[in-house]
Amino acid sequence: MLAVIKTGGKQYVVEQGDVIEVEKLEGKAGDKLVFDEVLLVGDDSDVSVGAPNVAGAKIEAELIDQTRAKKVWGIKHKAKKRYKMKFGHKQHLTQIEITKIVTKGSAKKATKTEAKTETKEKAPKKEKETAK
């Protein structure tokens, strides 16, 4: 089961158990977060696309850590004025783990390992009967 969520002006494709870094969200390590802006929810057999959001779908996550990205360097320059300035920026990020994907139809969805075992166990093929 995967979903597309929107947070911090960006969209992320997530599955249960994924750890992602998003734009800074308020909270401390161990806090629970809920994302209501779910744009798409689906698996191999069923896909729900929102207009703009999927009704009744939400993503539950746990805040792991507040971090910062690597420093990005930039330069300001004015031509013919002997002005040049170098600056750096470190973006604040929040590291989260996706704990549950909840859809309108069910309160609990299968985990990655359960989904893999379900796809492997297929029904036996029916033999074709010949007409005489």
Tokens of 7: 């947070």
Question: Domain extents for the chain?
Answer: 2-115
Give residue-wise pLDDT tens across range 43-70: 888 888 888 888 889 999 999 999 999 9
Determine the number of helices (DSSP H) and then strands (DSSP E) in the chain: 1, 10
Give residue-wise pLDDT tens across range 75-110: 999 999 999 999 999 999 999 999 999 987 654 444
| The predicted structure's pLDDT at residue 48 | 85
| The predicted structure's pLDDT at residue 45 | 86
pTM for this predicted structure: 0.70
| Helical (H) or strand (E) element with 116 | helix 112-120
Residue 112 confidence (pLDDT) above 70: no
Give residue-wise pLDDT tens across range 5-36: 999 999 999 999 999 999 999 999 999 999 99
- Of 54, 47, 46, 73, which Cα lies nearest the Cα of 5? 54
Tell me the sheet residues that pair with 95: 21, 65
Tell me the sheet residues that pair with 68: 92
